[in-house]
Amino acid sequence: MALFSQFSWDEPLLDEDGMVLSDRRFGRWLDGATRRFRASAEGRDAPDSGWLKSFFRLAVQYEGYAPSQIRPDPLLAVIFDVLPRKVVMEPSDGALLVRELQAFYAFASREYGSESAAACAARLTPTVGAALQRSLADPSKFGFAKALFGGGGEEPAQSPGHRLFEEQRALDVLGLSSGGPRAAGAAERSRKKRKRKQANKSRRKNR
């Protein structure tokens, strides 16, 4: 109960480069957030896709955003770019995940008054879930590694590809991976960070 009461939605989780400050702290935050969500009215009515925590880790890895910071555009980038390319999961689980995310961010908006959460919840419509389900079933959307390891979706929980991605995600967050998705994710975050800085600089000049 003490840990439950100590949870803070706005706890700093990432450094200025979008890297996890402490995997233990991040994991504790995820546990606290999901427990509170599941105990809420939104959480009790939401499906459990089994992918919520993994999704949030992917959002950090590839977009450099903590769950409490992410905005709709990077959120949708993870949904429509990262998941179909990188993750072996049942297409129907994708639709469930979108519904679960929508409920999570609706809860966060109500409970913590988070504007970014409200914006995310508004964008996570049933149309998004249906589109993700189609993308997860479309082999043309698969990345090379996912296609190589059999991302057909028949038995994702048992496939070598699923285990590979789960192990890679764990290594990535712990900082033990020397390449692969972590390197790609870091490069993508660096590119997007430069782009945001350029946009902010341009806005300041135009004032």
Burial 22-40 (b: 16+ CB within 10 A, else e): eeeebebbbebbbebbeeb
pLDDT digits (tens, 9 = 90+) for 27-71: 999 999 999 999 999 999 999 999 999 999 999 999 999 999 999
- What value does the mean pLDDT take over residues 73-85? 94
Whole-number mean pLDDT of the chain?
Answer: 79
pLDDT digits (tens, 9 = 90+) for 186-195: 545 555 555 5
Residues in contact with 99: Cβ distance below 8 Å, sequence separation at least 6, in sequence order: 46, 47, 49, 124, 126, 129
pLDDT digits (tens, 9 = 90+) for 99-129: 999 999 999 999 999 999 999 999 999 999 9
Domain positions in the chain are 2-205
Distance from C-alpha of 95 to C-alpha of 133, rounded to nearest angstrom:
6
Does pTM top 0.75 for this prediction? no
Distance from C-alpha of 139 to C-alpha of 143, rounded to nearest angstrom:
9
